[in-house]
Structure 1
Amino acid sequence: MAFNLAAQQIKPSLSHQDYDRWETIANKQISKDGKWVAMEIALQDGDGRVQLTELAASKKAITIPRAGKAAFSENSRWMIGLIQAEKDSIRQLKLQKVKKEDFPEDSLLLIDLRTDEKIKIPGVGGYKLPKKVKNWYAYQVPSKVDKDTSSIETKTVKSKDEPFVLNIQSFVGDKSYAFETVLDYGFSDDGSKVYLVSKKEDFKVIKLLDLESGIENQLIDSLTAYKFPVFSSNGAQFAVLGSTSSVEEEIKDFQLYLLDGEGEFKHWESIPDQKDHRVSEHFSPSFSDSGEHLFFGWNPLPKTYSYAADSSILEDERVNLDIWGWQDKEIQPMQLKKLEDRERESKVAVYQISKSEIHLLGESLSSDVHFNRFKKGDWAIVRDNSPYRRAYSWDIQIGEDLSRVNLKTGEINLLAENVIGNPRISPAGKFVYWYNAPDSSWQAIDLASKAKIALTSEIKDAFHYELHDSPSLPRSYGSPGWSADDEFFLVYGKYDVWKVDPFKLDQAKNLTRVKGEKSEMTYRLLNLDSEKDYFDMSDEMMLSGFENETKSSGFFRGDWKGDKLPKVLVYGAATYNGLKIAENKKRYIYQKSTFKASPDVYYSDADFHKEHQMSQINKQQEGINWGDVELVDFLSNDGDKMNGLLFKPENFDPNKKYPMMVYFYERRSDALHHYYSPVPSASIINIPYFVSNEYLVFVPDIKYKIGLPGPSAFDCIVPGVQAMIAKGIVDKDNIGIQGQSWGGYQVAYVITQTNMFKAAGAGAPVVNMTSAYGGIRWGTGMSRMFQYEQTQSRIGGTLWEKPLYYIENSPLFYTDRVETPTLIMHNDKDGAVPWYQGIEFFMALKRNDVPSWLLVYNGEDHNLKERKNKKDLSIRLSQFFDHYLKGEKAPLWMTEGIPAIEKGKTLKYELSID
């Protein structure tokens, strides 16, 4: 009997074939009445499903294969979604070279939640709902008439090239509409109106439909192109950009069309009294929340250049060059990277609808105009960093000049110079506020009076991140925002939430630590209403909580007056996130996970008397040798107490010594209860895969000293590994180390200082700080100087100020010490770390006869994007470490290589034969 039981407990390890079937909760929705939850469960590669569950005693559940994009109607009676074609079927059609337009269309699915009736409409190209009031739905099907759109330009944001039939249906009653030859459509947020763009000969017609009355209002019937149709928040006003330029014209003039709340239809191409200013086609018009203001973009007329326009010059005679000037505010790579954005750059103007007045906001080409989310109040702000921009290549914390703009007059007033922070407008538009990094305080300016307010001056708490360990100004703990009407400013200390009256600073209130109670619990506010960019203090205060010592977390109910301690709703040794509430505020849904448990969905009533599990994804995990994790501590070489994570196989035997992988990146111990899906690797080892395959995985935190990033890593990683060896469960002769980017650099450095690792993997490593310092981050076009002087590389000075630091921290100069076999991945389109760094490292290892391999995925960036390449890297990582740490046979790609003549013809995963 005992023998049979033991046999039953033997579970297979994860394989590379398991990735595709792993599931995640891609989206979850709760109906407004709180009675139903729809969960979209997606596979990494395969057909997902929607699970529809009733939150009642019956807990009725409906599973809909291949469904997605699920939503509920306003009255909570209907669920709507799309059913997609089988992925395997689509793959077969691709193998047969079938054209994409001949692939099967999706089907629209509606389920009556009262009667369980299902309505399925095949051949649907997509559907839409209003953003807020979901009383209507619309879906499109292929047009029934022959279509020839070869002469029609359809350069719009969302429209397709082909006209379609649009059907609009009410969720309440039987009212419906149908339209032929539609190119584009969209609901107003309140669901009262729809705009329709249709084809009429070679032109586009735009009209509005009032859904209740059925009245159609044709606005324009002669456009050749249009962009950015938009309603005001109440649906009473509508704006769109349109062009009547001929199809053949390469550059088209666009006009701004407006139907105001009085039913008056207006349009203009240039700005009155500013004939050299034209409406920009690249800026989406938008209304203020009140509907009083319409914001749109404008551009000066384009400059003409005689050399460019000279038709006497042949194309092969034209000179093309980049000139890098010392006086340029941005270096040429940054300018070229932003070229398309610069060509589409727009200034901002505001049309005051009641007065029919236009004001230009922020004339400077280098300034940015900002509004609050809903564009409330009478003010915008202008942020201009042009006086300081030249230093950005080495100082990424440059300042900016801050001004206010009066939306009624267009008047601009300077508020502050050289502000180092991220100024933004409060929700009601009364203040501009920011975290002032130089003195670690929160500041504000009253936009009406221009009075400056030191928001946190009366609070005894730390507002800067106390674990900051790079040569730059520390970040803040953050601010969740403001209460309604900008009455109170809300801000985070290290652990707590503070409420500040901007006009009574001495009355600041700690909302979470009522009587100075001491604990390691960090509280943060949760805004459960995505439609509000402020906190409504008439609603209950909901908080997340994270205990820094144990890494436990949960949800809490707080007190806006700050008279009561937060009340525990749900809490434990797990990660809790994604809290949502039904509109009737009777039920909550959220996700909970640990390393062992997938992030499933749970629900609870308003008082969290009991949590109920609603989903159970990844059931296949029960039949796999998974693992567990524990929080461990160790002392660094400097005597600092450090944390780390130690992952063990599920069938862990304390009497056995295991090979161990070491992975790290800054500080990771707070992720003790994080769930890691088995996924193909974009750059790093997949922890569940290695743990399942009988490895220990150790992830130490690292504390850095300025100027000594390499030694700092050594002083934490090596004693951490020694502490794990001291536990008596690690095979000290078979330890591997792997990291990517900043982690890849530290791997390269550590193996120049010790031979304790049997094998190493370094992805995209910087190994020569002297050459990397002057390089370019091609993804942004930025110089790399800032990285070493201010941020992650932590040298804290220029190459000529601290030349020895750059050399001493560069692994390349000590490669002759390396004996550890090394696998490098560095891709030829890496936009973050110059590809030549990986080449320098590989060539140095090769020159010193160290067994080493360089993987270069053609066309790939810093981290792999294509799934086929991720799967390939996963296989090669496991084969490399299995060979050195487990004694497995080496694959042919390691023993024979893949010569260029065999590239693309073989993968050589096969193991070599002795």
Structure 2
Amino acid sequence: MNKRYPFWLGLAFMFATQLSFAQQKRSLTHADYDGWESLSSDKITKNGQYVGYQISPQDGDSRLEIFSFSRPTQKTVISRGVGFSFTADDAFAVGKIAPQKDSVRVLKLKKKKADDLPKDSLFILQLSTGKLEKLARVKSFATPSEKGSWIAVHFEKDTPAKKDPADSIKTQEKPKKTDGTKLLVRSLNGEKSWEFERVKSYAFAQNGDYLQYVLAEEDTLDNSALHVLNLSTGESKMVLEKMTTYSDLTFSPQSSKFAFVATDDTLKAKKPIHTLYIYDVEKSEMQQTLEKSDVELANGRISGDGAIRFSEDESRMFFGVAQDYQDFDYENDTTILDDERVSLDIWGWQDAEIQPMQLKNKSREEKKTYWSVLDLAAGNVVQLATEEVENLSFENKITHDKALAYSDDAYRRNYSWDIQIGRDLYWVDFKTGEKTLIETDVPGFARLSPEAKYAYWYDSRDSSWMAFDLAEKKKINLTKTLPVPFFEELHDSPSLPGSYGSVGWLEGDAAIVVNDRFDIWKIDPKDPSAAIQLTQGEGRKKNIVFRRERLDFEETSIDPKSPLILSAFNERSKDAGFYSGSWDGKSSPKALLMTANNYNGLTKAKDSDQVLIRRSTYRENPDLYLTDLTLKTLTKASNLNPQQANIKWGNVELISYLTLEGDQLQGLLFKPEGFDPAKKYPMMVYFYERNSDTFHSYRTPAPSRSTINIPYFVSNDYMVFVPDIKYELGLPGQSALNCIVPGVQAVIAKGGVDTDNMAIQGQSWGGYQVAYLITQTNMFKAAGAGAPVVNMTSAYGGIRWGTGMSRMFQYEQTQSRIGGTLWEKPMYYLENSPLFMMDRVQTPVLIMHNDADGSVPWYQGIEMFMALKRLNKPAWLLQYNGEDHNLTQRKNSKDLSVRLSQFFDHYLKGAPAPLWMTEGLPAVEKGKTLKYELSN
């Protein structure tokens, strides 16, 4: 019998159904990546009153959001704004406005020339009034870094006017050739301005008193020139003219001097002769020039490829000299045709560097310069660096009459297999150039204390921090008597463990501040045994890693009256936050903020206590928050990716488990939205060393450069497990097995895993472990291995083409963890090489290895694929042409993302296989089809 319902009840049912449908969340798709936003370039004015940042989608137009610190909801939004900065006077924000990306793409499809494409614009925003000014066709802009309210705007070339057919050809003047364009220099409020034509380059003095600019030649060199503009008077003075190039243009700190290098030799000259000029800005006259004959280096010359620096008191100027050009008979033989010239590389056993590294460093070697110094009062030149000791280490500001120098020549030949070579350490006197040997074979890189009383470094061989008293000429072990280790405690490779870093020096070089694993120490070099633990051991007691937050990025030494703000990270719970401490170490750190979040990017305004900070979890975007040094109240300023609220996101859980060796480790288990342990979910397992500390890190949906995108798979109803791995020396493959399999079993025991549908995926070192695991276990239904090393015997003798280095060091000292040479430990190389066990593999494999890989030899992926093909095992090799170790081109990343999801959906979810898996992609179809279509 039919029942009749009131009309209103039917409407209510329909409305409820529609509301339920509207509230349903959907899974991530590959189409979501382009619009996913990130925040960058967050800045705060020195007075703390204004804040700005850039929001950028992965593919599309960015925007700038600029606002008052006290009114974060009232934002000035600048569409397509990029590359902005606040001016030194805190009054303006300036930046570029990029052309609309879609419009540029349409014009490119129409094959428009680069000159016909839209160009950047410039915006000038007055912060107090909100007044916005825009200038079109801007190539670049600059403002002074320290003070002044000026801007220089360099414009693009004018668009050529279209010819009027009515005009006679004879009356049209031929345009003059020049690389220069118009430069506008003006006060930011627009009250003062100057324009200069055909400008090639320009820059402000850092204090904003002057601007230098170079006029490009127009048809001939006769009108090229270098000028200095006095911004207070508006007077522009020509410094030099008729030069081919002007380089290393540098104002002294107080702008009283202006130095540069120039030559009038043709650009085609193989051996141009350069002159160094020092211009007295205040007197508007050339103070001094240095020619080739004035430098101390035998057969030396002024370098056109060096740099110029001044001491802070402007008494000294540092510049580069180079060996004079060497003549080679064969090179200069004009009777030999280009196609008759021999081209070869000779690898010599006695060479300090192997040929691939020499070729990588060829340009640097050709431009090698040696620091020299000019005493500006006395006028004498002293060469500081030499061929024997060529590396000088300057501090950010040169305030003393000495610097550290080092040479690794005696140890450089070993670098192909020993990346922890030593260096002979010296200190150099600027007055005489005399070098005093501090110590031979020093590990690491030494630095000079702010007051130049000490050289200091971490000695990895002795696991101690060291100092050298330059006055007493005495070496001091700073940490040997202290009751905790200062080496990396979780270090598990054959190399010597590093340190946890230094914090800096207290004023007057009174003490150095260094970190152990958890706590922070203040050590007086004159009495290291009386060191003070600033955090009173609370870090080690509570498993919290304390680190000092640097609030003033311009500091050279630490003011003991300044606040001590500490970041805090709990290694067990992964909670994070901030504490306050004291420089006397008499009180325990006090918690300001400690939550189940990830915090990073703490930035304090230079002249106030206003602070910017980013906070995130797996579910919470790393948005920007506003606070002060008390950290009591965090005000959210940005709102990234509101669309995430409508997407199935899931959660992450911290898992603890025991390895087969009995070690306790942690891992991250990502679970789909609405996870039901009574159901069965397919599970991906991804790994790379240790990742559990990233528990609260946000993971952005993005095309894959090499590995699975975790949010995508979780959103599409996969579980994803990321276990930590602890390695035993000589047993990298077995270590991975001992850690990963028990971790997976621990997750299975919690419920919800479809044990018949699990897969593993990794890239590089992770790709190696994938290849090894599938020779040892069949628990995974599918595997993805990116850039895997499968044959350690052949990879050991290979080259990392990205750097030109031999790969030996990786096996003897670092990640591959064999701990010896191929001839010392041949069985270790064989037993850890999955290639020799490929006949055991029962798991279908998707390999990615690109033909321009500069880290792992491309032939490793080929060896794996060919072995599996020969054994008739299901395997596919993705080779992206011209791509390196990880994909860099977005089009290829998008492609890999699709293929990874199709591959794993097929094996773990039973989805139809795509045609590229069933039919392949024949060479004759390359570039014509992608074969994403699913087979019937």
TM norm structure 2: 0.94
- CA displacement 1:732-784 (0-9 Å, x = unmatched): 00001000000000000000000000000000000011111111111111111
- Seen in structure 2, the aligned counterparts of structure 1 residues 387 and 284 have a Cα distance that, compared at 3 Å, is same
Partner of 1:189: 206
Q: 1:71 is aligned with what amino acid?
A: S
Q: 1:272 is aligned with what amino acid?
A: D
Q: 1:866 is aligned with what amino acid?
A: Q
Offset at residue 302 of structure 1 (A):
1.7
Distance in 2, matches of 1:649 and 1:497, equals 40
Is residue 127 of structure 2 the alignment partner of residue 105 of structure 1? no
Aligned pairs (5 A) from 1:168-317: 168-171=185-188, 174-199=191-216, 201=218, 202-203=220-221, 204-260=224-280, 263=283, 264-272=286-294, 274=296, 276-317=299-340
Partner of 2:5: none
Is residue 35 of structure 2 the alignment partner of residue 21 of structure 1? yes
Partner of 1:71: 85
Distance in 2, matches of 1:185 and 1:809, equals 57
Is residue 608 of structure 2 the alignment partner of residue 585 of structure 1? yes
Offset at residue 892 of structure 1 (A):
0.4
Offset at residue 516 of structure 1 (A):
8.7
- Seen in structure 2, the aligned counterparts of structure 1 residues 606 and 331 have a Cα distance that, compared at 3 Å, is closer
Q: 1:15 is aligned with what amino acid?
A: T
Partner of 1:562: 585
Partner of 2:95: 81
Partner of 2:752: 729
Distance in 2, matches of 1:437 and 1:549, equals 27
Q: 2:853 is aligned with what amino acid?
A: D
Aligned pairs (5 A) from 1:607-686: 607-686=630-709
Offset at residue 261 of structure 1 (A):
6.8
Could you tell me whether the CA contact under 8 Å between 2:850 and 2:880 is conserved in 1?
Answer: yes
Offset at residue 515 of structure 1 (A):
7.6
TM norm structure 1: 0.96
- CA displacement 1:810-848 (0-9 Å, x = unmatched): 000100000100000011111111111111000011111
Is residue 349 of structure 2 the alignment partner of residue 326 of structure 1? yes
Is residue 883 of structure 2 the alignment partner of residue 867 of structure 1? no
Identity of aligned residues (%): 49
Offset at residue 248 of structure 1 (A):
4.5
Distance in 1, matches of 2:382 and 2:273, equals 21
Partner of 2:170: none
Is residue 844 of structure 2 the alignment partner of residue 824 of structure 1? no
- CA displacement 1:500-527 (0-9 Å, x = unmatched): 2222323321111268982111111121
Partner of 1:155: none
- Seen in structure 2, the aligned counterparts of structure 1 residues 198 and 808 have a Cα distance that, compared at 3 Å, is same
Aligned pairs (5 A) from 1:335-734: 335-364=358-387, 367-513=390-536, 518-734=541-757
Mean alpha-carbon deviation: is it higher for 573-582 or for 316-325? 316-325
Could you tell me whether the CA contact under 8 Å between 1:260 and 1:353 is conserved in 2?
Answer: no
Determine helix, strand or coil for the equivalent of 1:13: coil
- CA displacement 1:152-184 (0-9 Å, x = unmatched): 7xxxxxxxx732222222246823222222111
Distance in 1, matches of 2:381 and 2:227, equals 25
- CA displacement 1:102-144 (0-9 Å, x = unmatched): 2222222222222222222222222111122252112122467
Could you tell me whether the CA contact under 8 Å between 1:367 and 1:385 is conserved in 2?
Answer: no
Determine helix, strand or coil for the equivalent of 1:177: strand
Partner of 2:10: none
Is residue 162 of structure 2 the alignment partner of residue 124 of structure 1? no
Could you tell me whether the CA contact under 8 Å between 2:800 and 2:855 is conserved in 1?
Answer: yes
Distance in 2, matches of 1:907 and 1:532, equals 55
Offset at residue 8 of structure 1 (A):
4.3
- CA displacement 1:178-197 (0-9 Å, x = unmatched): 22221111111111111111
Distance in 2, matches of 1:179 and 1:742, equals 56
Distance in 2, matches of 1:243 and 1:801, equals 56
Q: 2:849 is aligned with what amino acid?
A: H
Could you tell me whether the CA contact under 8 Å between 1:73 and 1:135 is conserved in 2?
Answer: yes
Distance in 2, matches of 1:513 and 1:889, equals 61
Distance in 2, matches of 1:131 and 1:587, equals 21
Compute the RMSD of aligned alpha carbons.
2.1
Offset at residue 379 of structure 1 (A):
1.2
Offset at residue 440 of structure 1 (A):
0.6
Partner of 1:158: none
Mean alpha-carbon deviation: is it higher for 499-508 or for 327-336? 499-508
**1:32 pairs with one of 37, 46, 49:** 46
Distance in 2, matches of 1:831 and 1:681, equals 19
- Seen in structure 2, the aligned counterparts of structure 1 residues 565 and 585 have a Cα distance that, compared at 3 Å, is farther
Q: 2:29 is aligned with what amino acid?
A: S
- CA displacement 1:768-815 (0-9 Å, x = unmatched): 111111111111111111111111000111111111111111000100
Distance in 2, matches of 1:791 and 1:183, equals 47
Distance in 1, matches of 2:454 and 2:375, equals 21
Could you tell me whether the CA contact under 8 Å between 1:458 and 1:508 is conserved in 2?
Answer: no
- Seen in structure 2, the aligned counterparts of structure 1 residues 123 and 173 have a Cα distance that, compared at 3 Å, is closer
Partner of 1:740: 763
Is residue 55 of structure 2 the alignment partner of residue 41 of structure 1? yes
Is residue 789 of structure 2 the alignment partner of residue 769 of structure 1? no
Q: 2:647 is aligned with what amino acid?
A: I
**1:883 pairs with one of 902, 906, 914:** 906
- Seen in structure 2, the aligned counterparts of structure 1 residues 133 and 163 have a Cα distance that, compared at 3 Å, is same
Determine helix, strand or coil for the equivalent of 1:506: helix
Number of aligned residues: 905
Mean alpha-carbon deviation: is it higher for 164-173 or for 204-213? 164-173
Partner of 2:105: 91
